[in-house]
């Protein structure tokens, strides 16, 4: 039976850029593991499929607020010990690491967590990140996607370099079957690695591969290799466009089962619409305007610091002429096209989740929207991006999850112990 | 007041190559984090300075027994949550990773553990490891040590790219002082990285740097940069030679405080000498001869499978003509020189700890030897390599530690919360 999937995307004090400025924010605790333990346990109480961490390899605009902090791979190792069932997903940049390192670390995590690991492969985007890793600037998009495809292939070959039953522990004979592991002799355009891996086959066979491509090449890679997909969709039509395109591409790539697509979702939930609106306004009012204009400038790759706040947003170049990351830019164009917002209204829209779908209302109203997307080729689940942490995710788990459970679209308890199980993905226990 | 330092080197089912063959071994649990949790907690009960993990980047001779398993960095993250005071040290290969990755992961771990991380920098040695990382063979010794020196320098610069008080959390102003972090613009022969790091300054300032060089270049690097040193010494004269050489080199390098040196130590402890001997024999008898001969062959880089077991060991080339890793080879030459063992006796000596000092006896006798080394420029502490886990370390903690405590040479409780504190090393809280 089809089931909705929910991930919690943990980010600083929440996805609203001003969340850390709230008097009750836990901003002083962002270096303390107990903060993340609490969030992971709230999501597990809500029976979420997984928690998810993004990753950046550079610090920009540190004065504006907290961004990344812990290395997400070490953070997941720590959180594996304080959770039991929930999946644990880390972003991994194929541009900055190598298959052997990634395969080894993720296999280690999958053993530590007894089969709960997912990896979200990204190609990264900022020059400041590239320069921390010895590049002069970020390599071209096409080169990065070529590397990503080879990266995924090599990582999976390394996991497959061990059979599941290689270790036999025969005390009076051999510790392992010598023919249960083998070199892979990978030699590609970007990587050379001999194998086998130093660690036995992960409990899941292969940890679950997430991908989030929005560009043509990103979608092609996702359709070919991803086992679940993060998406950006500001409304149902946008979600459907993406969803149908991905499933069409997946079919063309010869994959018969659909790929679960999980758009980002920002929710403000309260017992009345007015109260939910007030929660949103409370955060929006904490937002310094200069900060938001700078963020918008990054998204559209032009300086908008001199623009008039209460006038309509000036016309932006069409997407064909835009050379930066296209996903978010397309969303901004769509918001401008459908809502004709003033600059101030656009900033408010972008301040939480940066153009991801935002729903403000009662638990019933939010569940209605989620179901609408879920029934109509908009989403198989959602990547929750709570504007404020922990309060927004507590609200969601306490108020929205029970509604979804009562309607029978979301699990009332975990039925399996692995992320692959939660997502109803086929096992990969044999190479 | 000078204090003895003790680390527990955790390795598979123990450092005796046959430990996993024992009927009571936990060999089936090596992929279960609870096995390592138990060992770390035993060491913490014994008030050890730290637990320590080696690291290999290839699997050889898997049939002979378990070797590495988890990636040690993820393992330390998991163990940080189930311990409170004990230091956590991982080996890091400067030949296979880059300063940015290492600095970020180790800083993350130092935050997770609230200041308990150490890193043991190695240059790795086997061709099979090199081939997993895109090299055709292991690069030359000199090149590797040049890279290691630059690696350490760049990692420490990245940690120093943040001041300790950068994050101010001013809710109505800036999250951080912009001038509290800065690019490092590192550009060397081996690495280029711009900085700053993505994560605030570690609680220890810089995690504690261990090193274990035995070659001339290794000793030079250790004397110049290490904050604590692992050594291999089969007896007190060998330990003193090394110890005095390191302190002399450190002084020449302009370092006024001595560097704590911790040789490996294998102990079999019981309430009588005969009982301790029986424990050693029990493990030795589990050892398949062919397996030991293969290991010896690796150490001396020649095939000795056809040698006569009960005849004296044939003459080996002098160390000047030996091209492999020199530390262990020198020890083997010394054992042959001083003990004139048969091949069988040499194999027994090497089966646990591979030529590290081995003491078999009562707690008092073992404490006597440890004190002798500690008082006479042989050691500032020891890197315990229990032949069988957990039994040998339980024996040590229950029997030897109380003797050392009663004699006033080892702490009765932790006086600090950080590894730097346990080792009485100066803080590095300002760049």
- Domain holding B409: CATH number? 3.20.20.30
- Asked if B105's CB is within 8 angstroms of A71's CB, the reply is yes
* Closest-CA distance of chain A to residue B392, Å: 19
Residue B173 belongs to some domain of the structure:
yes
Residue B38 belongs to some domain of the structure:
yes
* Nearest in space to A15 (alpha carbons), one of A42, A39, A48: A39
For residues B175 and B195, give the distance between their C-alpha atoms in angstroms, rounded to a whole number. Answer: 19
Inter-residue contact B284 to B403 (CB < 8 Å): no
Q: Which chain A residues touch B193 with a CB distance below 8 Å?
A: 131-134
Residue among A109, A171, A198 minimizing CB distance to B23 = A171
For residues A122 and B226, give the distance between their C-alpha atoms in angstroms, rounded to a whole number. Answer: 36
* Nearest in space to B116 (alpha carbons), one of B92, B90, B86: B86
> Could you tell me if A132 lies within 8 Å of chain B, comparing CB atoms?
yes
pLDDT at A64: 87
Site of tokens 């060999």: B27
Region A307-332: mean pLDDT is 87
Residue B201 is classified by DSSP as P
> Could you tell me if A141 lies within 8 Å of chain B, comparing CB atoms?
no
pLDDT at B328: 79
Residue A173 belongs to some domain of the structure:
yes
pLDDT at A134: 95
Secondary structure tally for chain B: helices H, strands E = 15, 11
- Asked if B197's CB is within 8 angstroms of A109's CB, the reply is no
State the ipTM, two decimals.
Answer: 0.93
The count of C-alpha atoms lying within 13 angstroms of the C-alpha of B378, restricted to the half-sphere facing its C-beta, is 19
Kindly report, residue by residue over A339-398, the tens digit of the pLDDT. 788 887 788 778 876 678 999 999 999 999 999 999 999 999 999 999 999 999 999 999
A429, pLDDT greater than 70: no
pLDDT at A354: 67
* Nearest in space to A105 (alpha carbons), one of B408, B16, B108: B108
For residues B283 and B335, give the distance between their C-alpha atoms in angstroms, rounded to a whole number. Answer: 21
pLDDT at B354: 67
> Could you tell me if A254 lies within 8 Å of chain B, comparing CB atoms?
no
Residue among A69, A78, A105 minimizing CB distance to B78 = A78
Domain count for chain A: 1
Residue among B64, B68, B195 minimizing CB distance to A198 = B68
Residue B280 belongs to some domain of the structure:
no
* Nearest in space to A112 (alpha carbons), one of B82, B147, B101, B276: B82
Sign of CA dihedral B376, B382, B387, B388: positive
For residues A254 and B43, give the distance between their C-alpha atoms in angstroms, rounded to a whole number. Answer: 54
Residue of A67 and A105 predicted with greater confidence: A105
pLDDT at B426: 83
> Could you tell me if B112 lies within 8 Å of chain A, comparing CB atoms?
yes
* pLDDT tier at A325, thresholds 50, 70, 90: confident
10-residue mean pLDDT profile of chain B (431 residues): values are 95 94 96 97 98 94 85 97 98 97 98 98 94 95 96 98 95 95 97 97 97 89 94 91 95 90 97 94 86 87 89 92 83 83 81 82 98 98 97 98 98 98 82 55
pLDDT at B429: 58
Q: Which chain A residues touch B74 with a CB distance below 8 Å?
A: 73-74, 77, 105, 108-109, 112
A195, pLDDT greater than 90: yes
Site of tokens 């229990």: B386
Task: Show the domain range for B181.
Answer: 5-266+376-422
Residue A285 belongs to some domain of the structure:
no
For residues A427 and B8, give the distance between their C-alpha atoms in angstroms, rounded to a whole number. Answer: 38
Kindly report, residue by residue over A206-234, the tens digit of the pLDDT. 999 999 978 899 999 999 999 999 998 88
- Asked if A178's CB is within 8 angstroms of B128's CB, the reply is no
For residues A367 and A372, give the distance between their C-alpha atoms in angstroms, rounded to a whole number. Answer: 8
Selected for mutation to probe chain A from B64, B69, B74 (highest A CB count within 10 Å) is B74
Kindly report, residue by residue over B124-183, the tens digit of the pLDDT. 999 999 999 999 999 999 999 999 999 999 999 999 999 999 999 999 999 999 999 999
What residue in A sits closest to B77 (Cα-Cα)?
A78
Residue A369 belongs to some domain of the structure:
yes
Residue B260 is classified by DSSP as -
Residues 48-67 of chain A with CB under 8 A from chain B are 56-59, 62-67
For residues B243 and B214, give the distance between their C-alpha atoms in angstroms, rounded to a whole number. Answer: 11
- Asked if A63's CB is within 8 angstroms of B175's CB, the reply is yes
Q: Which two tokens stand for residue B274?
A: 């005969």
Q: Which chain B residues touch A109 with a CB distance below 8 Å?
A: 74
Q: How far is CA A28 from CA A32, A393, B199, in A?
A: 9, 19, 14
Q: Which chain B residues touch A194 with a CB distance below 8 Å?
A: 128, 131-132
Inter-residue contact B13 to B286 (CB < 8 Å): no
* Nearest in space to A232 (alpha carbons), one of A424, A104, A378: A378
Q: In DSSP terms, which residues pair with A122 in a beta bridge?
A: A93
Residue B351 belongs to some domain of the structure:
no
For residues A230 and A382, give the distance between their C-alpha atoms in angstroms, rounded to a whole number. Answer: 8
What residue in B sits closest to A82 (Cα-Cα)?
B81
SS3 A46: coil
Q: Which two tokens stand for residue A185?
A: 């002799």
For residues A334 and A330, give the distance between their C-alpha atoms in angstroms, rounded to a whole number. Answer: 6
Residue B22 belongs to some domain of the structure:
yes
Q: Tally A–B CB contacts below 8 A.
A: 181
């Amino acid at each position: 039976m089809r089931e909705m999937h929910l991930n919690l995307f943990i980010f600083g004090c929440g996805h609203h850029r001003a969340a850390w400025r709230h008097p009750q924010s836990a901003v002083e605790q962002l270096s303390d593991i107990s903060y993340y333990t609490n969030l992971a346990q709230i999501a597990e109480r809500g029976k979420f499929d997984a928690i998810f961490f993004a990753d950046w390899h550079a610090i920009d605009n540190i004065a504006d607020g907290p961004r990344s902090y812990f290395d997400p791979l070490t953070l997941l190792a720590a959180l594996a010990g304080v959770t039991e069932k929930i999946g644990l997903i880390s972003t991994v940049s194929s541009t900055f690491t190598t298959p052997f390192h990634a395969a080894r670390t993720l296999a280690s995590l999958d053993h530590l967590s007894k089969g709960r690991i997912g990896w979200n492969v990204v190609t990264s985007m900022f020059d400041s990140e590239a320069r921390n890793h010895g590049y002069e600037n970020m390599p071209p998009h096409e080169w990065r996607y070529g590397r990503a495809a080879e990266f995924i292939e090599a990582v999976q070959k390394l996991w497959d370099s061990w059979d599941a039953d290689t270790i036999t522990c025969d005390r009076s004979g051999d510790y392992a079957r010598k023919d249960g592991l083998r070199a892979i002799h990978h030699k590609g355009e970007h990587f050379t690695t001999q194998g086998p891996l130093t660690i036995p086959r992960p409990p899941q066979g292969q940890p679950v591969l997430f991908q989030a491509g929005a560009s043509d090449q990103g979608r092609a890679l996702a359709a070919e290799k991803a086992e679940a997909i993060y998406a950006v969709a500001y409304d149902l039509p946008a979600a459907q466009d993406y969803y149908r395109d991905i499933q069409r591409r997946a079919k063309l790539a010869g994959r018969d089962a659909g790929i679960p697509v999980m758009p980002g979702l920002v929710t403000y939930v309260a017992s009345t619409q007015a109260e939910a609106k007030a929660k949103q306004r409370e955060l929006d009012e904490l937002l310094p305007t200069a900060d938001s204009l700078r963020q918008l400038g990054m998204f559209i790759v032009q300086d908008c610091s001199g623009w008039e706040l209460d006038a309509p947003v000036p016309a932006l170049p069409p997407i064909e002429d835009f050379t930066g990351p296209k996903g978010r830019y397309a969303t901004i164009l769509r918001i401008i096209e459908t809502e004709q917002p003033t600059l101030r209204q656009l900033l408010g829209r972008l301040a939480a989740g940066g153009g991801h779908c935002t729903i403000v209302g009662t638990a019933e109203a939010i569940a209605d929207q989620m179901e609408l997307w879920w029934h109509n080729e908009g989403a198989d689940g959602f990547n929750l991006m709570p504007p404020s942490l922990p309060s927004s995710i507590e609200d969601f788990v306490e108020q929205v999850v029970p509604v979804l459970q009562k309607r029978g679209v979301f699990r009332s308890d975990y039925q399996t112990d692995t992320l692959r199980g939660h997502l109803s993905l086929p096992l990969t226990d044999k190479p």
